[in-house]
Every structure is written in structure tokens, then in C-alpha cells.
Chains A and B, each alone.
Chain A
């Protein structure tokens, strides 16, 4: 099991084997959005700060900005999402990842929720 951490804005992040922060949106978020039709991703090399809105996700019923749960530099984007945005619906916490950051401050992960606390957060929020 991957050690996913969640933000209150429904993004998740984990540190992969290369030390990069992989970021996506939660299963709850994709369910709320419905069928996703488009994703706008940042350019690699861009420096982003925590809570910065760097990606846009559009479904048939809403457009939403994706905030970064941690800061860092974009090292890779999931280019397959451009042609297959439905991956976000089918595998939100797997193949539907958005981008990878070289984290500027890995301690930021400690401020995020683990899966259990996130589940409770979603429950109390909805």
C-alpha cells in the first residue's frame, strides 16, 4: 500500500522511490466532479508553492482548480491524461495521477492527513 497523504482540498500526495512527490485528486473529489473531460497541467520545470493552483480539471458539470499540497518543482506531468482524462475517474489514486514534484520541503507532508483522518474529514464535511 502506498502511503497517501491528503489535503483538505482533496488532493493526495506520496513520495515515490525517486523521492518525488506524486500528486493527484482523491476518489471523493473525482466522484464529486463526475465524468472528467479535460485536464490542464503545468509545464515541467515550473516552481510551485504550497496551495498554489497549478492544474485545472474539468468535468461535464464543473471546472475546478487543483491546489498543490506541497511545494516544489514540477519534474514530470502525466501526459496520458490529455487524451485519457477518464483515467482520473477510473483510477484516481493510481494511473490518474497529475504530476510529480521535486519537493522543496518534505516536512510539508506532515501537515497533511492520512487516509483515515481524510475519510473522517470527508464524512464530517459532507
Chain B
């Protein structure tokens, strides 16, 4: 046979990325299709998806580009970003990420592709790293406990306000905000307070606090202006009226300054960005939240604690999960359910690598440079307004602020223009002698006048009064004192990484989480300095690369969703929900319908939905689901009909949280619209719609997209996330804006938007490059194919497992969407084997468990995504089938109900240390239950972790403290 001449297109490998991203190749796809009795991928859509939700894409996403072309494009884009030395401050500072951390963590899939550590046995590495972060925060703030990070400093401040109201025993309704707080923090607090009806007073708490009946106060330390003030009087005034005092602190300054905990603060929040995490034009970074131990149950976000495993050895886990707000549904005072794990981990490693001495050098250097410069300015007759400072000063230059700033920009330096008369100057870890010289040139008329650094340094005494200085030691724990050589540091990070199961080991079949490939090429831009070293408040002309990236991504997402505009400010899906509902409320008010405050939410919704609705000031009514998990239309009808004029919105997840395409989706949307309500679509499951259906066309008015699920941003072991919202045009005027950067919402209504919901104008801007690259390489055809293969993979698993486990919900033609739920309720009843036991047994097979008990208790939800190939799916199915066999042995009495491979799972290597092998099954069954495992056996670092012990014996600091203090 003659070989056909290959096409040039084929030889050029243009669409090559699509086959790299999608796991199964053509042969495997055909095998799976045949297994399911299907003839083509297209047939999956006809079989599984209701016809009336299908909608064609436009033409603009037609051409896909190769990996190489994407890199070339990104390199061009980065040239349009102009990296200056930003001395703007305001919570964002230049920093140096140690290369050993960059190479081994930021660029290591073992860290960035991991999931939130809900399964502690396979997450001990990142749990330890997060506990180190908590220890670092409690040490530096001198507080008793800290959480494992929040989304950003401003939302952490808003969380502190909410917690203050919850804990304050008086009926006060006012929150006092130091006018020297960062403007974005003030704005986020104002947005958050409004739906709850709290009054926010912005003023000077040192003189005005006692004039108000407050439940809380927040002070910036050092102030946004740079001023370091004595916190004690404010805190005492607050406490005198039983209010809580929050301090928003700069973490690096606390190395030198008296920590807020020693002044009596109740809460300390802030950003850990300058601990080695690049500014990234706004994020992502890890905020921290520290408080008193007595308040631990009211703390928002995740907390890592120490428990023990079934052999009595210490083991880490996320503690007190039931206190997390999203579980409280409509009673929630916060909807936070994620964190910024990867960034918290990096900040923690930064502190470990530098240790207490290194941090003193860095903080001391930054401060000394500012002393040299500020005192020089004073000598030169400049009006430095800041009395006591750490790294930032405010300079009065009557009428000339813009002139100096422009002059500085010519020298590649950004100063903060506070107003026409006032400049802010902030130094950081990247400040150098050369830069100091350059800066002094801007404030000198002649060359002779310029700063002589050494001469100035010699003349200086200690400028910070003793009472403001820190007298206590920091970071005394061994972990901060043992890894200061690069060799030791490298090994420590590897030691932790190898304890965990991330996507670099095996598939992570977590339903509703979409653990797809995070391709290397998509992450490349994060390592470009022109993207990472950008301060979020630089003049827009310096950020044209980012502007282009953001605009292009907005166009892409509009094309894929049928929406007209997007806001990238929400930093997580939960924030998207919150922002989207605020937009709905604002819109309704703008058309004279502010009496519409009722938000309908199906019983099957994720708990965050009602929590977000509560925070947006809406009343919640739960709509029943029928036995198939679909919205009960009759109940929906009744609930709307009861009070149609109050209907504001329906929040709906599509495909449903049960993993099926509801047939009635369009009817449901019509029903809501007919009664004057709007439809909010929870886009958690958008991976089942991309390329085949556009929410904005089939009935949704607003939706958030989890870019960290559908659009390839890695989960980072529990953050970063990104939850931009798309809206139809009539809602665009109300999308978030920003107090520092203009025109973040170009369509902003004259009557105001919903305000600001995150610290940075475009949220975590740097990781938007990941989703951009993903869509650019996949384009229309690739994305559609990915969706079809995601459906194929899920249906293949459902079909393979259906002989062994009941599959709980199915749509038309017995098909599931992109995930499937297997039902273990009968098994539990018959054998006492729980979802936990199956999940832990999977560890022995080297797998991360599927999602447990969501949306239905005692079930497992499996989502394979398109990135896993058939071999991996088969391996997983075989493990599940083998486990079913072990359950059958319990059913038939061959194996004991309490002493069997499931109840004893995961099997820890310490079993080898016992005098004899006393389990009623073989070592091989315990450790190597399936052929092929020994190729890369995963050895869990601990046995099963005791949740009860951990929740009853709270311990949230690093271990080994005793040995140190002894």
C-alpha cells in the first residue's frame, strides 16, 4: 500500500496541545466508545445532553495555536509590561523568592497540583508546611492561633469585622475603620458591611473611637502612610466598651516592631506576600488571620491541627471543619471555604529558609535604607510627615506630588501619589544602594547634593523609640532554625512533597473538583518577571501586557459562555457567588425592585450557595429536589407563586451537583424570569458545558467560573483559586470597581457599582495567564473535544463500576454527565464499611479518594476529567472493584467486620515493626493489593488519622516546641 502524503498542517503539529491535554488517544477513545455501545464522541452529546441546552459557539475561537506559538505570544505580551521599582507600598512589596523555593515548590507539580488536604493521610507534607505557616504567623503577631490563610488582606479584614460582630456581646452596630488603613481594605469592608446594615465609620481611632458605640475597630500597623503608632490606647478604648480590636499588620515590620498581640489585639490580619511571593499584579498571595485561642471556633477559613494516627503517632489534619462557615448554610457569617495554600506554603518556606536571623537582616536592611533616605530628606529640608516608620514614609511636597512622581517614573521608579501635595515612598527587600542613589537624585537639584549612603548611615542612631521595638524572640521553633543551607532546604521540601499524593502520582478523581492537567506551558508566564514583579497599582500604561491578557481572556470567556462582560476580581468561586448576588441585588434596586430579596436555592446546592446569599443580604428559601436529584418543579412553582414580587434570584448548579444534566433547566430559567427573578448559575461544573452549551444563551443571567477547575489553574493544595463572574449586558454596570485603580469596570453605572470585593483590581491577575494559555491552545474544537472526553471518561467509569456498585443518579439514556456518584449506603448497612474505609483503602492502592458524602451522605463522587487516559481509568476501576471484592468477603463472613483490609487502611509501614504479622490477611494484600503497584508503591506517612481525637484535643502549633524550650 502506498503511504498517503502527510498534510503540511499535520507535520507542523498545530493542534498538538489538544492531544497532550486530553488523556485518551484515538484508539482508547474508540475502545471506550465501543464499551459503551456508542459509535462516535458526538453521540455522547446526543445521548447525555438535553437538546435544548446545546448552543453553537461563534467563530472567533476557531484557530488553535501550538505550545511554541503560545510561548512566543506570551513573551511578546510580557514586553508590553514595564517593570519598574514600585515604591507604592499599600500592602504590596517587592520581594525575592529564593530560587530553591521557586524550583522545588512553585515549579514543582508535587506541590501545585495537589488538592485541599481533606484526606490527611495522603497530605501530611503540605499539612506540615501549612502548620509551619500558622506557627510563623502566631510567632510574628504574638497571637495564640492562626488559620492556614485567607484570600487577601482586605477580605481578611472584612472577615475580622464579621467575627467581631459575632463575638461582641453588646448590641453595637458600628465598625470603626482607621482612616490610615489601605484604601482597598476600607472599600472591601464597606462593601461587606452594607448588606448586614453595619455602619462603617472611617476616622482617627486615637481621638474619635470613644465617640461611637462600636462592636469593633481596625487599625493599620504601620499605617498606610507608614506611621507606627502605639496600638495600646486604641485597643484599651475598644475593650472598655467590650468591642474587639483588629490590627492589619505588615508581617515584615513585626520582625522589628512590637507585635500587636503584646498590645492586646484580639485579631491580627495581613498579607504574607512580601515573604517571597511575587506581587503578580495583585495576586495570588496568602493573607493571614490570627486571634485568641478562645475565639478559635469563630475563626473563618481552614485551621491545621495535630491529632494522632491509629498507631498513636502524631499526624496532621484540618481541624474543626464543622465550624467552617459554609457548613452553616443560611446561618453563615462568612462564605470562605478555601485558602491560598500554595502561597502560604511558600511564605512559610521563606521564613524557614531565612530563619530568625535572616529575617532580621532583611527587615533591618529595609528599615535602615528607609532611615538613611528619610533622614537625608529631612536634612535636605524636605517635610517628611511620618514620625516613626518602618519602611514607608509620607512626604509633603506642596503641589508637586505629580511632578516628582513623573520624574521618578523616568528613572523607572513608581512612587505613591496620595494627593497633589503628598507622596508615599515605600522600600522593600529588593531595594538596593543603587536605587537609593537614584531616588535621591530625584530629590536633589545638583549632583553634590545627592545622598552619601555611608556618611548618612554613620550619623544615624536608632530612629524607632524603644517602646515600639520588639523585645521578644521570633521563630524559635526548630523548623525555623534547621534548614538554612540550600542542601538541607532542598531535602526538607522534597521530604514533605513525597509524603503527598498529587497529580504527579495518580489521578485525583474528586467529583466537583475537576482535577485536570495543569500543563507546564500554561504555567510558564508565572515565572516571567514582567508578569510576576508588577505592583497592582502601577499606572495602567505600564501594565499593557496585563491589560491585553485580561481583555483577551474576557473575550474568550464571553465567547464560551454567551455573557457580555466579566469581572476578574473574585478570588474564589465563593467570592464569585457573593459578587454575582450583590450584582443582582444592585440591579434590582436600580429598576425599583429592591423589595425582591428572596433567593431560592435547591436542597442539593453546595453549602456555600446559601452562605453567599446570606452575605449578599438575601433571604433564603430551599427548593426541594426529587428522587433523581433534580429540582422539584412543583415545589419551585409553589415557592415562587407564594410571593412572586419578592423573588430576586434562583441559584442553580448545572449540570446539577448530582452530576446529571437536568432536562428542565430551560423551563426552570423561564419560570424564574417570568416572575421577575434572575438566574445565578454556579459554574462549578462548567467542565461539562464548555464548547457545547453557553449559559448566557440558555437562561443564566450571572455565573461564576472556577478557573481552577475548568480552565486549568492548579489547585495548589487548597488555593489559589479564581472565580470570575460573567454577566449579561444589563448587569455589567454593577460589576465591581476599585478605589485605587480607575476603570476596572469600564461600564460602571453612574449610580455606583456593588463596590469592591477583593484587595486587587483584577483579583489574582497573574494566574489568569494560565487560563488564557489553556483556551488559546485548545480553542473551540479542542475545548469541545475535552468536554466530550470528560463525559466519555465519566460514563466509562460509571459503566465499568455499575456491576459492582449502584450508580446513584443518571440522566436520559442512563447517562451521567462529567461525574458519577456511587452509592455505598447499602454496603454500610450490611457490612459497616463506610465511605471513609473505602477512601482510606484506596490509599493502599496509591489513589486519592473521590469526593466523600457530597452531595449525598455515604456516597462517593468520581470525576475523572478529560486528562486521564484509559489505562489510568482502568487502574482506578480495578482498584475499586478489588475493594468491592474485599467488601464481599466481609458480607460472606470470610473476613471479620472489624479486622479487615478496609477498616485497617491505610496500612502503614510501622506494621513491619511488630513482632509478628497478626492481621488475618497477607502482607501482600495489605500493601500490594493489586498487580503493578510495586512500580511506584505509595507508602502513607501515617496510619489512619483520628478525627475525634484531633477535634477534642485541639493543638494547632508545630510539634517539638517542648524539646526546644527545654
Stretch at the interface among A10-18, A33-41, A115-123: A33-41
Please give the distance in Å from A100's CB to the nearest CB on chain B.
22
Instruction: Number of A interface residues at 8 Å Cβ cutoff, please give it.
Output: 13
B328 touches A60 (CB 8 A): no
B728 part of interface (Cβ distance < 8 Å)? no
Across the interface, A63 reaches (CB within 8 A) one of B322, B948, B952, namely: B322
Residue of A nearest to B325 (CB): A63
**In the complex, chain A residues 49-83 whose Cβ is within 8 Å of any chain B Cβ:** 58-63, 65
- Distance in angstroms between the alpha carbons of A37 and B319 in the assembled complex: 11
B323 touches A60 (CB 8 A): no
B331 touches A62 (CB 8 A): no
B328 touches A63 (CB 8 A): yes
Residues of A within 8 A of B403 (CB): none
- Distance in angstroms between the alpha carbons of A65 and B328 in the assembled complex: 10
B residues within 8 Å of A by Cβ? 297, 320, 322-323, 327-328, 331, 947-948, 951-952
- Distance in angstroms between the alpha carbons of A38 and B298 in the assembled complex: 13
Residues of B within 8 A of A96 (CB): none
A24 part of interface (Cβ distance < 8 Å)? no
A62 touches B952 (CB 8 A): no
A59 touches B297 (CB 8 A): no
Residues of A within 8 A of B328 (CB): 63
Please give the distance in Å from A94's CB to the nearest CB on chain B.
20
- Distance in angstroms between the alpha carbons of A58 and B948 in the assembled complex: 11
B948 touches A37 (CB 8 A): yes
- Distance in angstroms between the alpha carbons of A40 and B952 in the assembled complex: 14
A residues within 8 Å of B by Cβ? 35, 37-38, 40, 58-63, 65, 85-86
Residues of A within 8 A of B951 (CB): 37-38, 58, 60
B331 touches A58 (CB 8 A): no
A58 touches B322 (CB 8 A): yes
- Distance in angstroms between the alpha carbons of A58 and B320 in the assembled complex: 9
Residues of A within 8 A of B320 (CB): 58
- Distance in angstroms between the alpha carbons of A37 and B322 in the assembled complex: 10
Across the interface, A60 reaches (CB within 8 A) one of B297, B331, B948, namely: B948
A38 touches B947 (CB 8 A): no
12 pairs, CB–CB < 8 Å, chain A vs chain B:
A35-B948, A40-B297, A58-B297, A58-B322, A58-B323, A58-B951, A60-B948, A60-B951, A61-B322, A62-B322, A63-B323, A65-B331
Please give the distance in Å from B321's CB to the nearest CB on chain A.
8
- Distance in angstroms between the alpha carbons of A62 and B853 in the assembled complex: 12
Residues of A within 8 A of B331 (CB): 65
6 additional A-B residue pairs with CB within 8 Å, beyond A59-B322, A65-B331, A85-B952: A58-B297, A58-B951, A60-B948, A60-B951, A62-B322, A62-B327
Residues of B within 8 A of A61 (CB): 322
- Distance in angstroms between the alpha carbons of A59 and B947 in the assembled complex: 10
Please give the distance in Å from B88's CB to the nearest CB on chain A.
42
- Distance in angstroms between the alpha carbons of A65 and B947 in the assembled complex: 21
- Distance in angstroms between the alpha carbons of A60 and B320 in the assembled complex: 7
Given A60-B947, A61-B322, A85-B952, does the pair A38, B297 have CB atoms closer than 8 Å? yes
Highest count of chain B CB atoms <10 Å: which of A37, A62, A86: A37
Q: How many A-B residue pairs have CB under 8 A?
A: 27
- Distance in angstroms between the alpha carbons of A103 and B833 in the assembled complex: 45
- Distance in angstroms between the alpha carbons of A59 and B323 in the assembled complex: 9
Residues of B within 8 A of A58 (CB): 297, 320, 322-323, 951
- Distance in angstroms between the alpha carbons of A124 and B328 in the assembled complex: 26
- Distance in angstroms between the alpha carbons of A3 and B331 in the assembled complex: 33
Please give the distance in Å from A61's CB to the nearest CB on chain B.
6
A63 touches B327 (CB 8 A): yes
Highest count of chain B CB atoms <10 Å: which of A35, A60, A62, A86: A60
Residues of B within 8 A of A63 (CB): 322-323, 327-328
- Distance in angstroms between the alpha carbons of A13 and B952 in the assembled complex: 27
Please give the distance in Å from A60's CB to the nearest CB on chain B.
5
Residues of B within 8 A of A40 (CB): 297
Residue of A nearest to B327 (CB): A63
Please give the distance in Å from A10's CB to the nearest CB on chain B.
17
- Distance in angstroms between the alpha carbons of A61 and B322 in the assembled complex: 6
- Distance in angstroms between the alpha carbons of A40 and B948 in the assembled complex: 17
Q: Report, nearest first, the 4 A-B pairs whose CB atoms are least far apart.
A: A37-B951, A63-B322, A35-B948, A60-B947
Residues of B within 8 A of A86 (CB): 952
B297 touches A37 (CB 8 A): no
Please give the distance in Å from B118's CB to the nearest CB on chain A.
13
- Distance in angstroms between the alpha carbons of A58 and B331 in the assembled complex: 15
- Distance in angstroms between the alpha carbons of A63 and B255 in the assembled complex: 38
Residue of A nearest to B169 (CB): A43
Given A59-B322, A60-B322, A60-B947, does the pair A37, B952 have CB atoms closer than 8 Å? yes
Residues of A within 8 A of B947 (CB): 60
Highest count of chain A CB atoms <10 Å: which of B322, B328, B951, B952: B322
- Distance in angstroms between the alpha carbons of A38 and B297 in the assembled complex: 10
Please give the distance in Å from B813's CB to the nearest CB on chain A.
33
- Distance in angstroms between the alpha carbons of A31 and B667 in the assembled complex: 40
Please give the distance in Å from B296's CB to the nearest CB on chain A.
10
Please give the distance in Å from B358's CB to the nearest CB on chain A.
39
- Distance in angstroms between the alpha carbons of A38 and B953 in the assembled complex: 11
Residues of B within 8 A of A62 (CB): 322, 327
- Distance in angstroms between the alpha carbons of A40 and B320 in the assembled complex: 14
Please give the distance in Å from B566's CB to the nearest CB on chain A.
35
Residues of B within 8 A of A38 (CB): 297, 951
Residue of B nearest to A61 (CB): B322
Please give the distance in Å from A34's CB to the nearest CB on chain B.
9
Residue of A nearest to B331 (CB): A65
Please give the distance in Å from A57's CB to the nearest CB on chain B.
10
Please give the distance in Å from A111's CB to the nearest CB on chain B.
25
Highest count of chain A CB atoms <10 Å: which of B320, B323, B327, B952: B952
Residues of B within 8 A of A65 (CB): 331
- Distance in angstroms between the alpha carbons of A62 and B320 in the assembled complex: 10
Residue of B nearest to A83 (CB): B952
Please give the distance in Å from B145's CB to the nearest CB on chain A.
15
- Distance in angstroms between the alpha carbons of A61 and B852 in the assembled complex: 12
Residues of A within 8 A of B327 (CB): 62-63
Highest count of chain B CB atoms <10 Å: which of A35, A38, A40: A38
Residue of B nearest to A60 (CB): B947
Residue of A nearest to B324 (CB): A63
- Distance in angstroms between the alpha carbons of A63 and B329 in the assembled complex: 11
Residues of A within 8 A of B948 (CB): 35, 37, 60
Residue of A nearest to B947 (CB): A60
Please give the distance in Å from B121's CB to the nearest CB on chain A.
16
Please give the distance in Å from B728's CB to the nearest CB on chain A.
37
- Distance in angstroms between the alpha carbons of A97 and B415 in the assembled complex: 63
- Distance in angstroms between the alpha carbons of A59 and B320 in the assembled complex: 9
- Distance in angstroms between the alpha carbons of A29 and B331 in the assembled complex: 20
Please give the distance in Å from B103's CB to the nearest CB on chain A.
39
- Distance in angstroms between the alpha carbons of A62 and B326 in the assembled complex: 11
- Distance in angstroms between the alpha carbons of A58 and B947 in the assembled complex: 13
Please give the distance in Å from B560's CB to the nearest CB on chain A.
38
- Distance in angstroms between the alpha carbons of A58 and B322 in the assembled complex: 7
- Distance in angstroms between the alpha carbons of A63 and B948 in the assembled complex: 14
Please give the distance in Å from A48's CB to the nearest CB on chain B.
16
